[in-house]
Amino acid sequence: MLLEKVCSSELKDRNPELLRYQRQIILNEIGIEGQIRLRKSKVLLVGAGGLGSIVAYYLACSGIGYLGIVDPDIVEESNLQRQIIHTEENIGMPKAISAMIGLKKINSKINILPYPDEIKKENVFQYIEDYDLVVACPDNFNSRFILNDSCVKTGKPLVVGAVNEFEGHVFDVISPEGPCYNCLFEEARDEKLTRGIFAPVAGVIGAIQAAEALKILLNIGNFLKGRMIVYDALKESFREVKFLKNPACNVCKG
């Protein structure tokens, strides 16, 4: 009751943040201290497509203080079916810039740093060094491997998501405690994208990624460390796949 009074509309003029985030602040697991922690947090989002759109929206709405967005692509009309952060008027614009414009309309108080660039081995450490956590939403294995390697080396938490057709999966890489992306997908190789994506699957997986990112930053709940959630939209089912460090992994040294 005390927090509800603190967050009441009577204090709107004195502290608008209390009103905006009151539904989070009244949660025992978050409170005012947790909200302050989110405001001070810095998250790097790699990929502003289907998954990244959802992650970006929820992180911005939740009050993340600094959100970096890395994406080398421009907005195309075919993106709009699932990449809901972009609009028709932004077709031809770099996705990182388009995402910033959309997020600023939702929450003008947070800091958005757009990077219209591609994550590579040569620049990845430059991008992640100033951030507390990385959310991987690229559409290729190579970028995920690069992010996994760099996050394991620097000890930064990484939330990984991927979608294909009617399915998607998500898990956390928290080194050195848990297994890494390479432990699971060492043999994976990129294939030419010829299959489609059922738009709501990106929404489901992106929302789980956002939830994991917020939980890790707040240090609440159980993380998807050594656990992968797999969603099947056709069956409308979730299943949990548990996995351990691979003793032969050359990244986290199993």
pLDDT at 148 (0 to 100): 97
pLDDT at 8 (0 to 100): 44
Does residue 200 lie in a domain region?
yes
Does residue 62 lie in a domain region?
yes
Give how far the C-alpha of residue 14 lies from the chain's centroid of Cα atoms, to the nearest Å.
32
> Could you list the residue range(s) of the whole structural domain that residue 136 is in?
28-242
CA–CA separation, 160 and 49 (whole Å): 14
pLDDT at 191 (0 to 100): 60
Predicted TM-score (pTM) of the model is 0.92
Does residue 15 lie in a domain region?
no
CA–CA separation, 157 and 18 (whole Å): 28
Q: pLDDT 10s digit of each residue in the chain, 254 long?
A: 444 444 444 434 447 788 899 999 999 999 999 999 999 999 999 999 999 999 999 999 999 999 999 999 999 999 999 999 999 999 999 999 999 999 999 999 999 999 999 999 999 999 999 999 999 999 999 999 999 999 999 999 999 999 999 999 999 999 998 999 999 998 776 665 557 999 999 999 999 999 999 999 999 999 999 999 999 999 999 999 999 999 989 998 75
Which of 98, 101, 142 minimizes the C-alpha distance to 120? 142
pLDDT at 254 (0 to 100): 57
* 140 CB-near residues (< 8 Å, 6+ apart): 190
Does residue 10 lie in a domain region?
no
CA R_g for the chain: 18
Does residue 247 lie in a domain region?
no
Does residue 93 lie in a domain region?
yes
Does residue 252 lie in a domain region?
no
Residue listed under structure tokens 């003793």: 247
Does residue 168 lie in a domain region?
yes
How many domains are there within the chain?
Answer: 1
CATH number of the domain at 76, please: 3.40.50.720
